[in-house]
Amino acid sequence: MVHRRPIAALYRGRRRLLCPHVLGRNRNRRLQVLCYQYGGDSESGLKPAGASDNWRCLAVENLSQVELLDGPWQTAENRSRFQNCIEQVELDVDACPELVPPIQS
């Protein structure tokens, strides 16, 4: 996450292309990750790249076959309205841009 690299992962049997922005725990102490999904499969379908409807809050325990990808970091402007899925933030890459700059290919 701190390198702002996209990932590919299976989530409940569907391959997704994601940019993870926030990692933390929900009110039940379950580890969640708020991601911008820019490709792959989704039950609800995907809008075009950059669309505000492509935010996903995923349970980390349901992610498998996670791999780092080379490619541009993807996001949308309205992340804050979706952040109610995580109560205890452990890492928010957008709040800490000084951690590690993005890797240039």
pLDDT tens, per residue, the chain with 105 residues? 888 999 999 999 999 999 999 999 999 999 999 999 999 998 888 888 878 889 999 999 999 999 999 999 998 877 655 567 899 999 998 787 665 555 554
Distance of CA 77 to the CA centre of its chain: 14
What whole-number distance in Å separates Cα of residue 51 and Cα of residue 23?
21
Distance between CA atoms of residues 66 and 83, nearest Å:
22
In a domain, 31, yes or no: yes
pTM assigned to the model: 0.85
- Is there a domain that residue 29 lies in? yes
Domain membership of residue 58 (yes or no) is yes
Per the structure, the complete domain to which residue 66 belongs is given by 7-72+82-90
Cβ neighbours of 23 (radius 10 Å): 18
- Domain for residue 51, yes or no? yes
Question: Tokens for 80?
Answer: 């804050």
- Number of structural domains (the chain) is 1
